[in-house]
Structures are given as structure tokens and as C-alpha cells.
Amino acid sequence: MNILERYHAMEYGPAPEARNEADAWLAARDFGKALFIGGDWKAASGGKTFDTSEPSSGKLLARVSDANASDIDAAVSAAAKALPKWSASSGYQRAKVLYAIGRAMQRHQRLFAVLETIDNGKPIRESRDIDVPLAIRHFLHHAGWAQALDRDFPGHKGVGVVGQIIPWNFPLLMLAWKIAPALAVGCTVVLKPAEFTPLTSILFAEICERAGVPKGVVNIVQGGPEAGAAIVNHPGIQKIAFTGSSEVGKIIRKATAGSGKKLSLELGGKSAFIVFEDADLDSAVEGLVDGIWFNQGQVCCAGSRLLVQEGIADALIAKVKTRMSRLRVGSPLDKNTDIGPLVDLTQLDRVKGLIAEGARQGAVCWQPDAALPSSGYYHLPTLATGVSPANILAQEEVFGPVLATMTFRNTEEAIELANNTRYGLAASVWSENVNLALHVAPQLKAGVVWINGTNMFDAACGFGGYRESGFGREGGREGMFEYLSAKLPLGPVIKPATSSAQPVEQADGVGIDRTAKLFIGGKQVRPDGNYSLAVATAKGKLAGEVGLGSRKDIRDAVSAARACKTWPEATAYNRSQVLYYLAENLSGRASEFAARLTELTGANAKAARDEVELSIERLFLYAGLADKFEGRVHQPPARAVTLALHEPVGVVGIVAPDNQPLLGFISLVAPALAMGNTVVAVPSERYPLLATDLYQVIEYSDVPAGAINIVTGRSAELAGVLAKHDDVDGLWLFADAETCAKAEADSIGNLKRVWSGNGRGLDWGSEEAAGDALLRRAIEVKNVWVPYGD
């Protein structure tokens, strides 16, 4: 046998990672006291424990303290006690602590990696080369943010005590994503790891002790659903950060409705992996292996939907099958293993059930001819072809090593198929034509897009989703804002509108009767129900009547807003010109609007003129910022640049307040329009004529039909309709506390982004109620990764 023949005859031998240090750590640890609260190790007050087992064998690793509501209360109290001193510490002091954590993790990174693999089942190569180094990177990166906080985020401070709940698929990395930015801005933390994977969080708590983290700043409580619910519902927590399933995310959104808690959700996904006919197929196949079989497919952004152009489909599928047949399934501690076990038997059964249902619905499921280990929760990599867009394998998050394949004919169809999901977390685009790739990326409804690559992450670059993949961002500048708050100038408490119609005295004199209609799709239209609402002057006289909008009118307005493509597709410069023109035309009728303000609100002439002038100034502000509030270019430590693009949220519902009715209306509508959103606005219920008087101004200011739609009526009723409408992407409302809470709870249908005043108005004339603070709410940040080099 010659050398070449020997080379081809070689087989992989076992290359096991030593686990003796991890086993020694496990043997020396008292897991009955695994709650890290106020700097001390404690047993659960109820005495309960839960088991954590090794996925590769099913063998018990440890019995871990199971926290209850009393333990969570103790952790929150410890965090609250530590908060004043920690938040008052200098950025440099916090930076030193974060740096110390990162350096201590570096010294123990092999122990972290082995524990992660033993507890989760992921191959040691992944935990050693990806998870642990990236977790360390987050702490070192955010040490810099801590010291730069005052310079880069003026007027902001940490939100307070933060409750954080993380999943089992990336236990240490998710911990780092959550804790690092929170500590950087001066927050204190109560974090609950997943029951399946508690071990590295316990080691991390030991690191915090060694790194000089002040007692109570980091509290880590092991537990199950009871502990998670106690964190979500605890009144002493000011923010909830959750990573997990969309179903649980919706429960949390509903539970926190009306609480005033800040909320960020990083949820499920069904990411598209799009391969165009000019792609390098061999590179695409390797990217696909990383995209779907990384961590056994237990990844929220897994490229689980392969969309391939028809002309190359057969060739690519053949290459994929060949590559799948060479994937090594086995012990996760073996350095040659590609696919380890799933995390638990329940997860294995779920994956099997979804595959069986997908096959029943017409998919052809193929697996390589390979043996599985005799013990453990292993599943072969699976390729599903002949998948229809409605098949369960194309729509539901399997969270396992399963790839669903579909074909497309042209670019438009590829984009349509990619967006045919309720999720919107990530996508990959493969093409040797960078012009094509950068044409497609902005049209994908996903928070992260990788071009000719996949699963690229960095602490400097934001990560997060659209739609039911949640809201908020992890990492980068965007991620810092999730743990910061800026003091907005609160206005008066908003009282609920009276339900019974108030009698309005007929005005003196005889004029031509005029009832203001609704403004939908660029036209003035009668309300569907043909009812009207009387509007009184400050003196109780009849000022006029407006249409009483209903659910059907909101439906029509949302349809018109969704159909308006010219406004979101217009350049920022074009949008700025229209807003300038709108301000110009409002200025020409300033005296008329000032008189209307005085008539309706009773404001004196000077106050009315000032509100009109400030409204015009506000339009000018957002016209000027339309082409200046731009994205950024990040330079991660890789041969890639990341384009953090600002994109409109989509259709934004706005429920405007009664206080400063003209200025409040314009202060909300203008930033939404400036960023390219289309708007369905409900004006002040008490003073709607100020909005209906704008119809003509809008009509002759070149605003495209459908860009702004105005539905007058009962604010609480219409807010509820907007909240429940799944084609509304965002909702801003300033109404009474009960209406705000109900709208937040009702928004879970599509997890729309909701900004409410929680029953308070704002001082719309203040500088803090204008500018970047509102523009940030009007955008999604999409991070597009563009690699370069050979």
C-alpha cells in the first residue's frame, strides 16, 4: 500500500477531551447549596432540588437547588440593596470588575468548555472554540462600554434591578450576553439559568467571587418555572430580559403588561438559508453544515430552511447528502465529533414527532446510513425535501438537526419564501454577486443577515429579531440601550374617558354643518358605521362632529398603510423634503390652527400660537433628521464588516394624547414618518378636530396615499383594535393606565413593539420628548455581515 492509499484508508480515531478536572469540580461542589444570593451560597428555602443529567449517557450529574418565590424575593432584595452603590460607582470601577471577570474566565476557559459540553451535549470543539471565547469577549468588550458610558450615552442611566432568564442551548454565552451589558451600565442582576444546564452558571458565580464583584450585584438562582414566574412578576424588578421560545415570550409580555417594566425578548426563529445559482456550492454546503447542524440544530437562528434556486437544486442536494454522510455523530467530548446528543429525552421526542408530522404532510425525509451511540439522546442529521411552504417543517421551529428544503425560480420568489414565516431572526444569502446579495438583504424580514456565511457573532454587533422572534437587541450599541433609561418629562395622569356621551350645547349662530370624515388611503371617507362623535369647545358649545371610527375602519386604514410601498421605499432625502413641505404648509395656516386650539382647549392666544409654532419646528426637526439618523459600520475581530442598517418598523399605530393635542400628535407621527414607517393614527379623543384640520395640509404636501391614515373615535376602543391587529408592527399610545396595560397584553398576537406612557402623558414641548429618543423607537436595526478576503 502506497502513501496515497494509506491516506485514503485512514479513519478517524477517538480524540477524547480529558474530563478529570470537570469531574473533580463536580465531586467537590455542594449542589444542594447552588443559589448564589447576596454573595453567599444558599440552599433553596423549600429544600427542593432538581436533577441535571449528561445528555450523552443520561447519567445523573448533580442534584441542584430548586429556587422558589421566596428565594427569588431574597435575590431581588440583595440586588436592590447593592444597586445604589454599584450604580453610583464610576465607569472605570465597573470596567475593572468586568475586565477581571473576563480574565478569570480566560484562566478557567477549558474547565468552562468541558462542563458546558458535559451538561449540554454540544461538541467540545464548539464550546471550546466558539462559546467560551465569545462569552469572554463580551465581558472584555463591555468593560470598554462601562468607561465610555457618559460620553456615548449622555442623559442615560442603568434601568435598575434586572431579571434575566436564559435557555439551555448556549448556557454560558447567553449568560454573558445578559450580564455583561447590565453590569456595564450599573444595573444589578438576578439571573435564572435553564434547569437542563445549570453547571457553567455555578462556575461563573464562583468566578464573580474571585473577580471582586460586590455582593448582591450578581445573583444567580437555579430553578424551574416557579422561579421564572417569580422573576417576571416581582415588583422590585425594573427590566426583564428573556431568551427562549416565542410561546413563553408571549406569556411574559402579557404578564408584564401595565407594569412599566422594560422588556427585551430574543425568541425563536425559522431562518432562511438562500442559495442563488451563481453561489460557490462547496462553500455554501460548508456554511449549511454550520448553519443547521451547529449545536445539533438547537439554535434559535439555525438556517433550518434551505431555499435553493431551481437550476442548481439537484447538484446542491447531492453535495449536501454527501457531506451529511460524513458528519460524525458521537461523544461530544470527542474532538472529531460533529453532532452530539440533543439536550434531553423530551427534546429528542419532540424532534421525532415533528419529523413524522412533516413526512405525513408530504415531505421526503432522508438520513445518512450511520449508527447512533447505544445510549444518550442522539438523532441523525435529517434532510427534508419536497417540502411545501405550509409544511410544519417549513413553519415550526424544530430545534433539532433537521433541514427543510424548497426551491425558487427568481429573486422575488426567494424573498417571498424567505419572509413566509411568523419569525424574523436571521437569514443567510449565498451569491458570488455581492450586488445581488446586498439587494436581497434589506428586503428580508430578519434582524441579522449573513452574506456568504452564517452564525457570525460578536459583542460589538447587535443580535435580535423582528416579528415573533422578539424585540430588543443583544450586543453592540443597540444592546446597551436595552439596559439604559432616559428620564422623559412626564405630563399629567391620563384619566379614562367617560363612557357615556356628554350633551353638547348647540353653537350660537347658523353655519354650514360639516362633519369631518376619516382619512384613509389618501382620501376622506365616511366611517363604516356611519356614526359621528360631537366635539365641544372649551365653553361646552358644539365645535363640530367627527366620524366615529370602528374596527372595520382600523382594518381599512391598516390595509392602506400596508399597501403604501412608495413611502418606506423612498430615500431618506425624499422623505425629508415631504416633511419640510408639510411644515411649510402648516406654517401657512398657523393662525387658523392657533384659533382652533384656543376654541377647543381654552388656551390663551399666546399659548396656542406657541404650540403651533413648536409643532412646525418639530416637523422641521424630523425633516432634518430623516437623512441623518443613520446606521453604523462595525468592524468585528474577523475578516468582515457588519452594516447596522436602520429600517422602519413597518405599520405603526399611534394613539395620541389629549394634552397639547396638536403638538403631541405631530411629535408622535413625524418621527415615525421620518424613518419610513406608515402610520395609522388615532388623534386626541377630546380634540380630534386639530387632526382632521390637517387633512388638507397632508393632501397638498405630497404625502403618498396611505403613508398616514387618521381614524377618529374612542381612543380606548381603537387602541385595543390596533393592539390585536397582526398586521400592525408597532404601537405607540398615550392613554389611561388601564388602556395601556390592556393594549400591551393584547399585543402578543404578533409580539408587536409597544411603547406606552403607562397612564401618563409627556411634556411634548420639552427637548427630551423629541429627537433620537423617538427615532430609536421608529426603527429596527438590521445587522448585515459582509465577509471579505479569500
Are 462 and 474 in contact by the 8 Å Cβ rule? The answer is yes
Catalytic residue among 54, 195, 208, 300: 300
Residue type, 535: V
Write out the DSSP string of 606-633: HHHHHHHHHHHHHHHHHHHHTTTS--EE
Which residues make Cβ contacts (< 8 Å) with residue 706, sequence separation at least 6? Answer: 521, 522, 560, 561, 563, 564, 567, 678
768 given a catalytic annotation:
no
**Distance between CA atoms of residues 698 and 488, nearest Å:** 29
Give the up-direction half-sphere exposure of residue 317: CA atoms within 13 A in the CB hemisphere. Answer: 23
* DSSP 8-state symbol, 175: H
Which residues make Cβ contacts (< 8 Å) with residue 279, sequence separation at least 6? Answer: 312, 430, 431, 432, 452
Nearest to 673 by CA among 739, 583, 736: 583
**Distance between CA atoms of residues 592 and 596, nearest Å:** 6
Instruction: Please give the radius of gyration of the chain, using alpha carbons only, rounded to the nearest integer.
Output: 28
Catalytic residue among 266, 468, 478, 482: 266
Backbone angles phi, psi at 50, to 5 degrees: -130, 160
Task: Please name every residue paired with 694 in a beta bridge, in sequence order, or none if there are none.
Answer: none
Are 284 and 316 in contact by the 8 Å Cβ rule? The answer is yes
Nearest to 461 by CA among 694, 209, 342, 637: 637
Which residues make Cβ contacts (< 8 Å) with residue 378, sequence separation at least 6? Answer: 329, 339, 340, 341, 342, 348, 372
Task: Please name every residue paired with 786 in a beta bridge, in sequence order, or none if there are none.
Answer: 641
Q: ∠ CA 250-254-258 to the nearest 5 degrees?
A: 145
Give the cell for residue 642.
457588519
Backbone angles phi, psi at 544, to 5 degrees: 155, -175
Q: Is the dihedral of CA 100, 104, 107, 112 positive or negative?
A: negative
Q: Is 561 helix (H, G, I), strand (E, B) or coil?
A: helix
Write out the DSSP string of 52-100: EE-TTT--EEEEEE---HHHHHHHHHHHHHHHHHHHHS-HHHHHHHHHH
Nearest to 191 by CA among 30, 86, 76, 89: 76
187 given a catalytic annotation:
no
Catalytic residues: 266, 300
